[in-house]
Each structure stands twice: as C-alpha cells, then as structure tokens.
Structure 1
Amino acid sequence: MLKAKRLITDLDEIAVALINRTNYHGFWPLLYQVATAGLEPESIAYPVRAILRRYRNANFLLAEVNGVDFEQHTVLTDVGSVSYDYLVLAAGSTTNFFGNERFERYTLGMKDLDEAQRLRNHILHCFERAASERDPAHRAALLTFVVVGGGPTGVELAGAFVELIRHVMRKDYPMLDVHQAHVALIEATDRVLATFPESLQRAALDRLRRMGVDVRLNTPVADARPGVLAFKDGSELAAETIVWAAGVRASPLAEALGVTLGRGARVKVEPTLTLPGHPNVFVVGDMAYLEGYRPGVPYPMVAPVAVQMGEQAARNIIARTRRNPMKPFRYFDKGQMATIGRSAAVLDSFGIRLTGWPAWVGWLFVHLMELVGFRNRALVLLNWAYSYFTYDRGVRLIFGVGAEERLKVERLKVER
C-alpha cells in the first residue's frame, strides 16, 4: 500500500488500481506482539479503502493474483483479468522451509495476521492443556516454546515469550509452576542478529540469556515431527510449540511468472527495478533480487528496502510518462534495530550504536510512527503503556478455532 502512495499523489492523471488478497494494509514488524497477546490484530492493520478514499485516481480490487500475461499486458486474478500499462509487482515474501515438507507441516509460521492469531491461540491452548495435564513429561513439552532462527524476528519473539510467561502466565495459571516453562532460541550459525555489528550481537545474546532464554548456537535443525524437534547432532527437544523464523523467500507468485529467479526465488530485476525485457513491469520489495552492496549480495528482504524500492518505481513510472530517463535504485541505509524485551533493544543507525533503554525508546518511536492512521498509533501506544505499567497483556483470548484447527489437532494425535 505504501509503495503505491507516491504514484497516486505525484501524478493524479494516472489511474492506479491496487490489487491485494486482503482488504487491509498490515505493519508486519509488530506481528510478534499480536502472536504473544501484546496487541490486537486490528491495531497493526488499516483498511485499504480507508487509505485510498482521499485519492480520486485510485481504485482497489480484492483478489488473488495468480500470474501475469506479459504479452497481453494483463494481470491474471481469481476474479478475472486486469489490463495494465505499467505494472508494479510487490507481493512480498513467505516463510522459507528450504524445501523440507516436515518443517512446514510441524512448525508454526508468523508471516501474516492469520498466522499470528493462530500462534496466539496455540500458545494459550498449550497453557490451558498444561493446567490439566497429569503426565510431567507432556506438561513440560506443553510449556516448551522453541523459536528456530536467530534473526530479528526470532530474537524479538523469544524475548516476548519470556515476558509473557514471567509477567502474565505466572499470575493467570497459579496451579502451574511456570519455572518449568522453557524458551529456546535455535540458531544454525555462531551468532544471533548476524547483520548487526558484533558488539550489538554480543549485547543481544547476553540479554537473552540473562532473561532465561536457552540460546543454542551452532545447532542446525535436521528434522521435525509432532511435538519434537531433531538436531543434526542427534539430540532432540520435545516441544509442542515450534516457531519457524529461520528464513524467508519470495511470494509463490514469483515462480508463477516464468521469469529468471535468483536466490530465495526472488525475481532478478534491472537496476531501474524493471523486469528484463519488460520495461513497463517493475518488481519491488522482497520479491526483487537486485545486487547492491557488492557482487553476489542482494539487498536484504526488509521493510525499509521495500518502501524505498516502491518510491523509486513510482518515480521511474512518472519519468517514463514524461519521456524522461529512468534512474537506478540506490538504497539509503538508515540503520537497523531489534527489541529484546522490556526496556531492552539494540540499535545501529548512522554510526550510532545503542543498547538497553535508549535503544528501546528509539525502537518504540520508530515503530509507532510507521503505523498507518492516528487510531492505530493511539491503540498501540495505549497498549504499550498499559503493559509497561501493569506488567499485563490484555488480549489473551482464544477464538476462531474452527473445524480445520480441530482436525489438525486430531491428526497430530493420530500421528503420535
């Protein structure tokens, strides 16, 4: 959505059609807080039509894009074909299970609101089941929460699990000894937050371990089955909650295009962000494979890159309509940050490296301002303030568990 706003506002004689499979724009860096009962789902999402209604040249279509006919200049969707003069593909990314069907089958993802709510339901179910479980071994597995992947998502989620258990579940479930709860962060390499400076990596690792997270470095995962994660050294860990945060790949739409793909199933693009041989088709964000820092190293699949790519694509479309030359994409790196828990974060921006409370305040401010809409900012700020001063979280509701979820639970019981 944000990628389209510049095009809509800068050239009002262009008719812009936005196609999306959901009717909302989501701020995914805060998904982990929805998954751990810190925020309501609607506080990090905003209706697309509410954003577009101020623009007379914009229209919205709720549809699933299945492919593109480049010869006929049409987008193929589940509700019919849509013609285009210029096309911007920004379908984002999905979880990368590296071709292992068992990882996909027996672990939980967290790439959209549906998955985040499913994870929250699952976590709360685990505590409810643990409260009545008489088998100590199974109770321990129900209270074991594993995150695979030591990037920002994994670090933030592991810290959020600890705080949920320590500050909330301890009071909600007095019949349980929450000291039995076990949060593990599994990383195949020798460091967490690999893209951060080494000093911040050490600070994050130290903070996680002081919080009680069982951080296991140099521990590649070999297999997964119901309630068990197996490692390449032959050891196993029994856990009912295994969250896969070990990587991302481009949306399946990239493979449906029939074009040349790079690592992570990303679409290889020209420096102008156009598809080779199709100067009126632009690919931006996590779908785009463009080497920028040095040969063989593409731009990372993060939100700041996606936003700047969207803005450059809009500028290049405007340039083409005015018969001006297009310009190559240049990423302006404003830095990176990750929160580890209450009053703790790491921040690396413009040569400034911060840890602890100052970095945490910076993280709060940046993420609050990135949200769309005053209502969402107010809701998130109030939730954060409530959680900070009361050590509580207000969204501990289990809902939306339908037939599909019940069938999944029964299937796992049978497979055991």
Structure 2
Amino acid sequence: MFTVTSENKNNGSKPRVVIIGGGFGGLALAQKLKKAPVEILLLDKNNYHTFQPLLYQVAIGSIEADSIGFPIRRIFTKQNNFSFNLAEVKKINPESNTVTTDIGTVHYDYLVIATGSNTNFFGNTEIEHFAMSMKNIPEALNLRSLILQNLETALVTTDMREKFALMTFVVVGGGPTGVELSGALAEMRHLILGKDYHGLSKYDMRVYLVEGKDRLLAAMSPQASEKAKKFLTDGDVTIFNSAHVQSYDGFYLTIDNGKTIKTRNVLWAAGVKGEVPDGIPADIITRGNRIQTDEINRVKGYENIFAIGDVSAIITPETPNGHPGVAPTAIQQGEWLAKNLVNLINNQPTTPFVYKDKGTLATIGRNQAVADLGRLRFQGFFAWLLWGFVHIMSLAGFSNKGIIFFSWFINYFNKNSDNRLIVRSFNTETRKINEASK
C-alpha cells in the first residue's frame, strides 16, 4: 500500500469531488466542473480514455489501438482544479466518506461512480471462457490476434474440419456493436481475404449473426432494422433472429433454434452489465447490474454519492429500465450532474435529469449505414458519411481525429489496411496473451 499523497488527501477548503472512471460520463463531468469551486480527483485503472464505439475496428485491424485511446492527463492540462490518480478502486466506504484503492485511501465530499459497463455473459461460465468479448482496448487486441492467428492456421492446416471451424465467425448480439462487427467481417471476407491470404478464398469464410430479438438494431426504427439486415445479407452474412446461444465449448456452438455451428471464433456482443464497486448495497442494484438513483443521479439512500452512465439507472414510469446505455446518455448525465453539484454546494435547488435523444447511427460496412435522427430516417451512403463525421468529431484529441481520418481515407481507396499485425499472440487454450510477445 502506498503512502497517501497530497493528491489523495483533501487539504484545501474547497469540497472534493472524486470521480471513479475516465469514460464518457466521468470526463464530461470533470470538464463541466472546470470553473466550479471544487477540487476534482479522477480515479481510473487506466491512464487513458477509450473511444469504445471504434473498438471493433481495432479488432478487425482497420485502425491502430492508439488512435482510439487518449491520455486522461492530457485532456485536462489547462484545468487547474483537476488531478488524476492511476488507481484501482477496491471498495467504497460511505460511512467514512472514503474510497479504498490499491494506492491508498481517498477521502471525498462528493463521490461520482462513472465506472461504465462490462460484458454480460448471463451467468454462462463456459461461454465466458471460450467466447471473445470486446469492451476495452486489450480485449480488442486479443480479438485481432485471434482472428489473424486463425487465418494463418487455416492456411496450413490439413484438417478440413479444423479449417472450417477456423474460417467460421459467429457474432452474438444484433445491436450496433454486433451489426458493425458482422459488417466489418463480411467486408474483410470480400475485399481482403483472397488478396492477402493466397490459398484462402472468400468461399472458405462464413459469417453468422445470432440475435435474440426478432429484428436487428431493436432500439432503432423498423426501417433501419430492415435495411441493416439487407446490407448484411447482401454481404453473405447468415442471420438468425429470435435465437439464443445455449452453449459453446470452443468448437461447437449450439443455438436454441436447433442449429449447431463448428467455429473457433465466437465474438460476444450480446449484452452488458454495470461495473458496480464493492460497498454499494445489493438492494439498490437493479436490472443489468445498475445502481438505482434518483432523478439527479444521486444513489438511493445517500446524500453525497452519485452514479452516471451505464452503471446508473434512473427508474421512473417513463424510463422503467433506466436510460439507454450509450455514450450520449453518459455525457449528458455528466454535464447535468455538474450543474446540480454546484447547486448543492451553493444550497440552491437541483433539477431532474432530462435525456435528449439526438439520434442513433450504425454502420454496416463500406458506403453502408443507417441513421435515425428524430423523425428523419435514412440509410446508405449519406448515413455512412454522417456516421464517419460524427465519430471523428467525437474523438478526444486533434491527433486522434487526424489519424483516424487519414486511416479511413487510405483504407477506403486501397480497400485494405496496414494494421493487421499479430504483435501479441493470443493463447486460445488459456485465453491469455503470450507474455513473451507483449
């Protein structure tokens, strides 16, 4: 245990706001408190912010991992009331207004839990062991290694059953992540496989998408769902709707529609659950492992603990399951909470959070995307351009914006990518990175 430093201990007269998590919500809150009369301490186990909507492009080798990560300290260089500690939170101690971390005990006057979410395997430990998740940069790199290693092995194996399994990809989950990942794999199959892997044909590779609901992109309009399905089927993706994965042992995947698929590649995008730190009572944890809060994101039963983003659920008649677990929700809640924290400090009235749905975008591949913007519904090339523009502008840091733009520009005209590198091999038996290749 490290000695508690001045960054960990509040020695000033300003109230201390401790934020756990450097995701979209945590950063939005800290930035909005820039001119507030508070001392901000952000804690995260990584020293960088991850732009999660593009993780799938890291996984299939379209862009480099560094281009979607940005140092947290760099974002707040000019913010004098902000400090950051690289720390893993072990437990919240509401009775003493402290947080136990791996670098010491941290005091807070106001605590904000912005820990986001993790992959939900719904209690199936076998699937959790053998399937590949994609919620952070290391997991995306693991998936990239697995995909590329399996293609290399398929080139040389003489076992046709094994080759079939190595060349079969099953994406589980038909939300934006699953649809975008399926589209990217289909694009790799058609544009890259035969060009770069001499000896393999696009006819050797199969892509399946398994979705439990009766349509893809269930949170979007029926028009978007239908068009996304058409784009994917045109790319030779086999789609199973109203189907659920029952088991996966690393080779055989069984679905409750009676289908069994031989595959070495199961990519899990079927659900998420909130990352709740120890110390929060179980009786206020609701569906999706989310913390129940009131309408200003204050955790039920506490006066100075708040939760925002994927880990938070404001349960009302209008939002019986909480708000959508997407980046805009986290950002808006962070910004809204900043105003309410200042009001609380100044003994002024607070205002309930109001979510403004600015629309939803999903890309299915080259020149293909769907967009729901209020009452506007459109699909195809313009939606694809809009998707690209929104994602580039949402990235942290000018350099990352430029890198992504030029990567996409070059990849678009080359119909290829230079980022398919196996720089850290993935052990498919132990499901761990080979230490020697890190």
Post-superposition offset of 1:7: 3.9
Tell me the TM-score normalized by structure 1.
0.95
**Are positions 1:91 and 2:115 aligned together?**
yes
Which residue of 2 is the match for residue 413 of structure 1?
none
Q: Deviations over 1:72-123 (max 9, x none)?
A: 0001111111000111110000001111111101100000000000000000
Return the alpha-carbon distance in structure 1 between the equivalents of residues 82 and 281 of structure 2.
Answer: 29
Post-superposition offset of 1:169: 2.2
Q: 1:80 to 1:225 in 2, by over 3 A?
A: same
Corresponding residue to 1:380 among 397, 404, 412: 404
User: Equivalent residues in 2 for 1:13-52 (5 A)?
Assistant: 13-52=37-76
**Higher fraction of helix:** 1
Corresponding residue to 1:155 among 154, 173, 179: 179
Return the alpha-carbon distance in structure 1 between the equivalents of residues 314 and 189 of structure 2.
Answer: 41
Corresponding residue to 1:337 among 342, 345, 361: 361
Which residue of 2 is the match for residue 280 of structure 1?
304
Aligned partner of residue 96 in structure 2, secondary structure: coil
**Are positions 1:165 and 2:189 aligned together?**
yes
- Tell me, yes or no, if the aligned pair for 1:293 and 1:299 is still in contact at 8 Å: no
2:416 alignment partner AA: D
Q: Which moved more, 1:212-221 or 1:30-39?
A: 212-221
Post-superposition offset of 1:409: 6.4
Corresponding residue to 1:119 among 114, 137, 143: 143
**Are positions 1:3 and 2:28 aligned together?**
yes
Post-superposition offset of 1:295: 5.2
Q: Which moved more, 1:78-87 or 1:290-299?
A: 290-299
Q: Which moved more, 1:335-344 or 1:256-265?
A: 256-265
Corresponding residue to 1:362 among 383, 386, 390: 386
Post-superposition offset of 1:4: 3.0
Return the alpha-carbon distance in structure 2 between the equivalents of residues 387 and 295 of structure 1.
Answer: 41
Note the aligned Cα RMSD (angstroms): 1.5
Count residues with an aligned counterpart. Answer: 406
Q: Which moved more, 1:43-52 or 1:372-381?
A: 43-52
**Are positions 1:141 and 2:165 aligned together?**
yes
User: Equivalent residues in 2 for 1:9-408 (5 A)?
Assistant: 9-11=34-36, 13-253=37-277, 256-259=279-282, 260-291=284-315, 294=318, 296-401=320-425, 405=427, 408=430
Post-superposition offset of 1:138: 1.1
- Tell me, yes or no, if the aligned pair for 1:147 and 1:157 is still in contact at 8 Å: yes
Tell me the TM-score normalized by structure 2.
0.90
Aligned partner of residue 30 in structure 1, secondary structure: helix
Aligned partner of residue 304 in structure 1, secondary structure: helix
Return the alpha-carbon distance in structure 1 between the equivalents of residues 388 and 431 of structure 2.
Answer: 37
Aligned partner of residue 59 in structure 1, secondary structure: strand
Q: Deviations over 1:206-265 (max 9, x none)?
A: 111001111111221111111221112443101110011111010142x65224111011
2:384 alignment partner AA: W
Q: Deviations over 1:35-70 (max 9, x none)?
A: 010110010110011112211111110011122100
Q: Deviations over 1:2-36 (max 9, x none)?
A: 2233343131x311000000000111000000001
Q: 1:31 to 1:295 in 2, by over 3 A?
A: closer
- Tell me, yes or no, if the aligned pair for 1:145 and 1:182 is still in contact at 8 Å: yes
1:248 alignment partner AA: V
Post-superposition offset of 1:350: 2.0
Query: Following TM superposition, where does structure 1 have runs of at least 4 consecutive aligned residues deviating by more than 4 angstroms?
Result: none
Aligned partner of residue 25 in structure 1, secondary structure: strand
Stretches of structure 1 lacking an aligned partner (at least 5 in a row): 411-416
- Tell me, yes or no, if the aligned pair for 2:150 and 2:167 is still in contact at 8 Å: yes
Q: Deviations over 1:348-376 (max 9, x none)?
A: 01211110001001101100100011100
Stretches of structure 2 lacking an aligned partner (at least 5 in a row): 1-21, 433-438
Post-superposition offset of 1:292: 5.2
Return the alpha-carbon distance in structure 2 between the equivalents of residues 294 and 135 of structure 1.
Answer: 56
Post-superposition offset of 1:407: 5.5
Tell me the percent identity.
Answer: 37
Post-superposition offset of 1:165: 2.2
